Amino acid sequence: MTDFYSGFWGVFITVIVIVSLIWLGVLLKSQAVIKLKKGEKAEVINHKWDGDLQEYNNPLPGWWLTLFVLTIVFAVGYLALYPGLVLFGNAKGWTSAGQLKQEVAKADAKYGPIYDKYAKLPIAQVSQDKEAREMGQRLFYTYCIQCHGADARGAKGFPNLTDADWLYGGTSEKILETIEKGRHGQMPAFGAAFGEEKVRDVANYVLQIAGKPHNELRASRGQATFQQVCVACHGADGKGNKDVGAPNLTDKIWLYGGAEATIVETVTNGRNNVMPAWKDFLGDSKVHLLAAYVYGLSNTPDAAAK
């Protein structure tokens, strides 16, 4: 956005605004000098519509000209007070970023003590507080639903936050760490190294350990490749590794889908997932409250009783 406040765009916007104002002034002046003498009729302009509808070159009404002049005067004053003329700044020193900072500071002064109150409590305890959950939900709706959905059940490539399956761990500490620092999960592409046939063999072995229909011959061949290469992240039993975010391949939960074609696509092209870090943007107190809400989605009293 800084490109719009300097360089070519600053010159472009300033010139357009000044030229427009001058042109409007000249146009207004040219129309203001048209006057009819007593008894003189207005000239008929050579335009016709619908056969007999014509336009007359009547002088503009005085009240209309006055209003037009006032709008130009208002425009000049507004451009002087606010940064419409980019190159010349503005008398008020106003910027949209500055206004945002003022509004954020005002909101922090009003709501900061409430956030700070919950920041001192354990996440598990905060997750059971009704007011805290409502506040956390509003934060979730503002910043998280774009990826995880309003119901927090995710979508293809975006984790479901309401179940017990966590790539990096579902403890309150791990959830807080994820929101604070973000995550960058990478699955290497093995298509070039394996070749098409070996990729399909590995995919069928993954289907086998997941308890899904598969080709026995391909699965038996794919097991050797899996134990040589894939075990480094997913483990010898295929149950994953939360330290690196490697998913469990033996359950029924799939981030991108568990069909053979999808697994082949994953092994061939790899995956690259990014969870943004929110600590610097939201601050410690809001992140703490948001983590408590997310933690509560899969750790409710009702869920624990089942």
Cα dist from 230 to 165, 206, 247, 265, whole Å: 20, 10, 12, 15
> 127, 106, 126: which is closest to 116 by C-alpha?
126
Q: How far apart are CA 118 and CA 275, in angstroms?
A: 24
**Could you tell me the pLDDT band of residue 302, with boundaries at 50, 70 and 90?**
very low
Q: What is the mean pLDDT of residues 281-295?
A: 95
Secondary structure E strands in the chain: 44-49, 53-56, 183-187, 271-275
- pLDDT by residue (tens digit) across 219-262? 999 999 999 999 999 999 999 999 999 999 999 899 999 999 99
> 210, 212, 194: which is closest to 202 by C-alpha?
194
The predicted structure's pLDDT at residue 13: 84
> 301, 299, 291, 305: which is closest to 135 by C-alpha?
291
Cα dist from 34 to 59, 70, 295, whole Å: 5, 20, 75
Whether residue 187 contacts residue 266, with contact meaning beta carbons closer than 8 Å, is answered with yes
Residue 184 bridge partners (DSSP):
274
Residue 56 bridge partners (DSSP):
44
Whether residue 263 contacts residue 203, with contact meaning beta carbons closer than 8 Å, is answered with yes
The predicted structure's pLDDT at residue 303: 38
**Could you tell me the pLDDT band of residue 61, with boundaries at 50, 70 and 90?**
confident
The predicted structure's pLDDT at residue 6: 55
Q: Is 40 helix (H, G, I), strand (E, B) or coil?
A: coil
**Could you tell me the pLDDT band of residue 290, with boundaries at 50, 70 and 90?**
very high
- pLDDT by residue (tens digit) across 168-217? 999 999 999 999 999 999 999 999 999 999 999 999 999 999 999 999 99
Q: Is 4 helix (H, G, I), strand (E, B) or coil?
A: helix
Q: How far apart are CA 144 and CA 129, in angstroms?
A: 20
The predicted structure's pLDDT at residue 27: 86
* pTM of the full structure: 0.70
Residue 187 per-residue DSSP state:
E
Give CA 156 to chain center in angstroms: 17
Q: How far apart are CA 35 and CA 47, in angstroms?
A: 21
The alpha carbons of the chain give a radius of gyration, in whole angstroms, of 33
Residue 273 bridge partners (DSSP):
185
What residue type is 182 in one-letter code? Answer: G
- pLDDT by residue (tens digit) across 19-52? 999 999 888 888 777 677 777 777 777 777 777 7
Q: What is the mean pLDDT of residues 140-151?
A: 96
How many Cα atoms sit within 13 Å of 108 on the Cβ side? Answer: 11
